[in-house]
Structure 1
Amino acid sequence: MVAPVMPWLTDSTEHLDALLGALADAGASGVTILPLHLRGPVKPLFLGWLARYRPALVPRYEELYGSRAYAPDAYGRWLRDRVAPLLERHGFGDRSGHRAGRTAPEREGAYPVGSMPAATPDVAAPAMAQPTLF
């Protein structure tokens, strides 16, 4: 999952292309891309951060999000159109972001070393008497 994609911060073709390339190299079998949403108390916190570190973007975010928590549909369509050729370039195929014929590896050895939890032997739980209320 690629989320959140932040307008004017992480939605450039260059940024998304590099990210999708890294995901493909890491063996991702599919990608879902979601724009930033600013629900509840997150919105004023994020806008405060934006005002401090990227003040020129505050009016653009206020215009884009207004009183909404989610980016408008037009931005979502724009982002999907931007990402479509990048998904294709990196082998994710159709617009859903899934590689044709690719599934997650079944064998533990197919995953990078250290990415799987350590195996634990099957150990039976100790026998306990069922507690009673009375």
Structure 2
Amino acid sequence: MEWDALSLLEAGEDRPLIERRSVLRDGFYEVQAKTMIERVPPAAGIAQQWSVSPYRGCAHACLGCGARAGHRRLGLDAGRDFDTRIVVKANAAQRLRRELARWDGSPLAVGLSGDCYQQAEQTYRQMPGVIAALRDAAVPFTVYTKSPLVLRDASLLAAAGARVAISIAFVDERIRRAVEPGAPSAQARLELVAALTEAGVACRVLMAPVLPLLSDATDQLSATVRRIAASGAAGVEAIVLRLPPATRRWYLSWLQQAHPALAGRYEELYDKAGLPASGYEQRILGQIAQLCRPYGLSFGPPAPPAPAGPRAAQLALV
């Protein structure tokens, strides 16, 4: 592709930080990453403590995405900018190989700061190099995605022994259009689970985020688990919606417009850190676990492999 003649941004100090440190190419901000392996916030609710993300921001535009705060650190907003101004770590695979050379073997999550198979991946094809680096270092990893583009790399993932977690929080298409407007339908993702399983990729479903008062009714949870079981998934992990500050503002702004009667109840349910009330969370997770049993679906994250040495120090962002 040709470089945009105006792609070298000569921004003044009043411009967003990312525009002073990037090259703009076909609408994406290209940067040279200083680090690839980053700590996962404990509040994220997933099993891995460390993550790798070739992209920041996500065109799926999920209102409840907990990664939105990362855009604030780049001088962008955590709302519309997160959905439309995608940051590409152009040196992702090369930088990752250098860090893995001194990594302790702890499991990694891939794709938390932005879906690693979103539209940007069609242009940049970062993931084959990332998968190869993780495979060569013999580091266990789980890819988190909603995108059918992951099927392109199914053989690479299977050969690397990777796990894939497909996010399917609910099967109500009306809710999906409202809170995940850029993401594939639940049906498309269920078909993706079946296709990955058939291709020999270990595939689980991340039933997340469960939305309080919107997708947490017993019949909604039951319908979602039933269809997940029919897809052939190996198991289910579930996370109730988290609302860290940057996400909270964006999500509650939408909620106030779409469901104003629920806004006050959310304020009561969530603490200042954005975590749901423990009693509510445990009740929902218990319901989902019980719904999984008749189908023989395992519930919760699979047992992690044992780590293998000293951990590297965390490096600088972006």
Q: Which has the higher strand share?
A: 2
Q: Deviations over 1:36-93 (max 9, x none)?
A: 0011311011001000001110111000014231112112211122223211122215
Query: Within 5 A, what are the aligned runs for 1:7-22?
Result: 7-22=212-227
Which one scores higher on RCO, CA 8 angstroms, separation ≥ 6? 1
- 1:66 & 1:92 partners in 2: Cα distance? 32
Structure 2: gaps (5+ residues): 1-205, 303-318
Q: Is the 8 A contact 1:3 1:35 kept in 2?
A: yes
Structure 1: gaps (5+ residues): 99-134
Correspondence for 2:291: 86
Does residue 246 of structure 2 align to residue 41 of structure 1?
A: yes
- 2:277 & 2:212 partners in 1: Cα distance? 11
Number of paired residues? 97
- 1:2 & 1:80 partners in 2: Cα distance? 10
Query: One-letter code of the match for 1:88?
Result: R
Query: One-letter code of the match for 2:227?
Result: A
Give the fraction of aligned pairs with identical amino acids, expressed as a percent.
33
* Structure number with larger C-alpha Rg: 1
Query: What TM-score, normalized by structure 1, do the two folds share?
Result: 0.66
Q: Is the 8 A contact 2:215 2:221 kept in 1?
A: yes
Over 2 Å off, 4+ runs = 95-98
Query: What TM-score, normalized by structure 2, do the two folds share?
Result: 0.29
SS for the counterpart of 2:245 is coil
Correspondence for 1:122: none
Query: Within 5 A, what are the aligned runs for 1:1-134?
Result: 1-93=206-298, 95-96=299-300
Q: Deviations over 1:6-43 (max 9, x none)?
A: 11111111111111111111100110010000113110
- 1:54 & 1:39 partners in 2: Cα distance? 20
